[in-house]
Chain A
Amino acid sequence: MLIDYQSMSLWELLAFNSPGWGGALLSGLALSLQIAVLGYFFGLIIGLFGAIGKLSQNLLLTDLLYCYTTAVRAIPELVLILLIYFALPNVINDVLYSFGFDGVEINGFFAGVLVIAFVQGAYATEVIRASIAAIPKGQIEAAHAFAIPKYKILYRIMIPSMIPHALPGLSNLWLIATKDTALLAVVGLTELTLAAKQAAGASKQQLTFLLAAGALYLLVSLLSEVLFKYLIKRTEKGQTHGS
């Protein structure tokens, strides 16, 4: 029989134990954050190498990266996740079956991280590329002139002096990552947005749960903002003039 939510008070609705939805919302948030953190992290790595590749002289590489960033940023995330989670294994499995092998399954969590990393990587490529381009050219030339190896120029000169330029853009991306996790509902993961939708739909208390989810998102982004501010402060030394 169905639970009667109409007679429950606000605190009962938001209680941690079922039938209250508070716990469900929080575990949804935890799932969202896990996927967002992993996706964001791998996205940054892709972005860093993507940016370097894009600034390189290799035409094939820059062309491929151009396609990657344009396409992945343009394609709606839902399409990507449907393709990676449903269509891709289908194609692989068809091949495997025809050779008499067993099929493979892509785990929903894994697919989620993959999609977020893939998408974030494309955005991060652009952000980092622009930030590298903003470093005074002379400073990189000086590094070359002193025979600092390329990878060291990267992490000793370019990354430290690029980070202050890149951080605002990267903090935007992090916020996008946390919200993009909402897509993972499609693969059956109950992340925050879906949990809120379910609570709202089941209890018919739309506003309560939308605001609750909104508050949780806001909390996350306020906390991340504090973190990013701290990072910006720490990395900005020497970049601006004196006082």
Chain B
Amino acid sequence: MGHETARKTRYLFGIRWLFPHRMILLVLLCLLVFSLVTKLDWYWIAEYKSAILSAVWKTILLLVSTFIVGFILAVPIGLVQVTGPRPLAMVAHSFCSIIRGTPLLLQIWIFYYGFGSVFPEIEGIRESFIWPFLTSAWPYAFFALTLSVMAYEGEVLRGALSGVPKGELEAAKAMGMKPFKILTRIWLPRAIQRTLPIIGGEVIIQLKATPLVATITIIDTYAIFSNIRLETYIVYEPLLLMTLIYLILAGAVTLIFTFLERQYKNR
């Protein structure tokens, strides 16, 4: 009997979105959105629409490219800290400490204004083909943000790699797998599976680090809304729209990682 009821309940509430409390939350959300839309002042959107879109695109581009490249480069950094050799582990470790220990803003400035102001002094560089590259801000932003991902994710991966049960690695070793194979087939997948939720969080942290590039003339999502606020002196409406955009981006990240977590749920 109980069995039957269980089945039935599961059937009834099969569509998870229809749980009562979720309906209430949704209704509340709709009311909130409605009142915000009608009560506040949104005239400026029309004027800035295209600027906002391109800024959002820049944010996404920066986030995705730096995180992917940085994460791939973080693997060796996490790995040498677990396996050695000693000197390399120390180098990797100091790298992580320095990058994690200083504000990203400072790093961006040092690369852009510090190193950037050294390049023009080099004889003949202004005529060379890399000059347009050096004068734009993107390479510096990309470089600084990638370094930061490398350092933070290197640290996360170090913890994750050392947490994989030793027995499973021994099993691989005992069958003559090469170290690289063990890494790519057993060690890394196992480590990443365990830390997916943490990595998801790190992507969101990185999302929120991207606005710093505004200080080197890249107008990203955050910067465009700052500009709007300064030009119009409207305080909350641009902030709300910006929040909505960041929420959507973070929501997308969370969804992707929830999906990945589900895929790897077994343990």
With A175-B100, A218-B101 as given contacts, are A79 and B204 in contact (CB-CB < 8 Å)? no
Q: Are A130 and B247 in contact (CB under 8 A)?
A: no
Q: Are A76 and B242 in contact (CB under 8 A)?
A: yes
Interface residues on B, range: 35 or more
Find chain B residues with CB under 8 A from A127 CB: 198, 201
Q: Are B106 and A75 in contact (CB under 8 A)?
A: no
Find chain A residues with CB under 8 A from B202 CB: 172
Q: Mark B159-172, 1 if CB is under 8 A from A, else 0.
A: 10011001000000
Find chain B residues with CB under 8 A from A75 CB: 243, 246-247
Query: Which of A63, A168, A171, A214 is in CB contact (< 8 Å) with B22?
Result: A63
| Interface presence of B70 (CB below 8 A) | no
- Whole-angstrom distance between the alpha carbons of A137 and B114 in the complex? 51
Find chain B residues with CB under 8 A from A118 CB: none
- Whole-angstrom distance between the alpha carbons of A86 and B201 in the complex? 28
With A63-B22, A207-B114 as given contacts, are A172 and B156 in contact (CB-CB < 8 Å)? yes
Find chain A residues with CB under 8 A from B195 CB: 130
| Interface presence of B58 (CB below 8 A) | no
Q: Are A59 and B102 in contact (CB under 8 A)?
A: no
Q: Are B166 and A240 in contact (CB under 8 A)?
A: yes
With A123-B205, A127-B201, A169-B159 as given contacts, are A79 and B243 in contact (CB-CB < 8 Å)? yes
Q: Are A82 and B239 in contact (CB under 8 A)?
A: yes
Q: Are B25 and A217 in contact (CB under 8 A)?
A: no
Q: Are A168 and B159 in contact (CB under 8 A)?
A: yes
Q: Are A172 and B155 in contact (CB under 8 A)?
A: yes
**Which residue on A lies nearest to B194, using beta carbons?**
A134
Q: Are A76 and B163 in contact (CB under 8 A)?
A: no
Query: Which of B103, B158, B196, B200 is in CB contact (< 8 Å) with A179?
Result: B103
- Whole-angstrom distance between the alpha carbons of A169 and B197 in the complex? 11
With A74-B250, A76-B242, A169-B156 as given contacts, are A222 and B101 in contact (CB-CB < 8 Å)? yes
Q: Mark B209-243, 1 if CB is under 8 A from A, else 0.
A: 00100000000001000000000000110010011
| Interface presence of A225 (CB below 8 A) | yes
> Using a Cβ–Cβ cut-off of 8 Å, how many residues does chain A contribute to the interface with B?
48
- Whole-angstrom distance between the alpha carbons of A70 and B204 in the complex? 9
| Interface presence of B208 (CB below 8 A) | yes
- Whole-angstrom distance between the alpha carbons of A67 and B26 in the complex? 12
Q: Are A169 and B239 in contact (CB under 8 A)?
A: no
Find chain A residues with CB under 8 A from B239 CB: 79, 82-83
Find chain B residues with CB under 8 A from A1 CB: none
**Which residue on A lies nearest to B254, using beta carbons?**
A70
Query: Which of B200, B235, B251 is in CB contact (< 8 Å) with A82?
Result: B235
**Which residue on A lies nearest to B107, using beta carbons?**
A214
Q: Are A217 and B101 in contact (CB under 8 A)?
A: yes
Q: Are A222 and B97 in contact (CB under 8 A)?
A: yes
Q: Are A210 and B250 in contact (CB under 8 A)?
A: no
Q: Are A168 and B211 in contact (CB under 8 A)?
A: no
**Nearest Cβ distance between residue A71 and chain B, in whole angstroms?**
6
Q: Are A218 and B102 in contact (CB under 8 A)?
A: yes
**Nearest Cβ distance between residue B109 and chain A, in whole angstroms?**
6
User: Which B residues form the contact surface with A (CB < 8 A)?
Assistant: 19, 21-22, 25, 97-98, 100-106, 109-110, 113-114, 152, 155-156, 158-159, 162-163, 166, 194-198, 200-202, 204-205, 207-208, 211, 222, 235-236, 239, 242-243, 246-247, 249-251, 254, 267
What are 23 residue pairs bridging A and B, where the CB atoms are less than 8 Å apart in the complex? A59-B19, A59-B21, A63-B21, A70-B254, A73-B208, A74-B243, A76-B222, A79-B239, A129-B197, A130-B197, A165-B163, A168-B158, A169-B201, A171-B155, A172-B100, A172-B202, A175-B100, A175-B101, A207-B114, A217-B103, A220-B101, A221-B101, A240-B166
Known: A82-B235, A133-B197. 14 other contacts (CB 8 A): A63-B22, A70-B247, A70-B250, A70-B251, A73-B250, A74-B250, A79-B242, A126-B200, A130-B194, A169-B201, A172-B100, A179-B103, A214-B102, A240-B166
User: Which A residues form the contact surface with B (CB < 8 A)?
Assistant: 59-60, 63, 67, 70-71, 73-77, 79, 82-83, 86-87, 123, 126-127, 129-130, 133-134, 137, 165, 167-169, 171-172, 175-176, 179, 182, 193, 206-207, 210, 213-214, 217-218, 220-222, 225, 240-241
